[in-house]
Copies of this chain bind each other. A is one copy, B any other.
Amino acid sequence: MSELQDAVFRALADPTRRGLFERLCRQGDTTVVGLLADAGVSQPVVSKHLKILKAAGLVHDRHEGRYTYYGARREALATLVDWTTEMSGFWQDRFDDLDDLLKRMDQ
């Protein structure tokens, strides 16, 4: 019952938060206003969710003047990967092709 693990699972349980994280994964660093567009909730709510995601280590923020850029910390997904791996040996198979692709790109 790792503290971090719990924070990650809990953070990703909310659809709004998952949506924010997904957008940060797709489009890279974005300001709060940038995220606000398709979030479907008010600005303070977006900020609150980002705070929770940050506490779980899923995003990082960087201040530039009056802007705050948020970005996804994909490494944090390792928590999910580790847990899923532990629950089943199912993970590796699914990623074999991805692994191959990476090796090819490495050359």
Q: Taking beta carbons and an 8 Å cutoff, which residues of A are in contact with B?
A: 1, 6, 9-10, 12-13, 15, 18-19, 21-22, 25-26, 28, 72-75, 77-78, 80-82, 84-85, 87-95, 97-102, 104-105
Contacts and interface: CB of A to CB of B under 8 A. Distances in A.
Contacts of A9: 9, 12-13, 18
> Copy number of this protein in the oligomer?
2
Label chain A's interface by main secondary structure.
helix
Contact of A87 (B72, B82, B97, B98): B72
A104 B78 CA distance: 7
Nearest to A95: B105
A90 B85 CA distance: 13
A104 B81 contact: yes
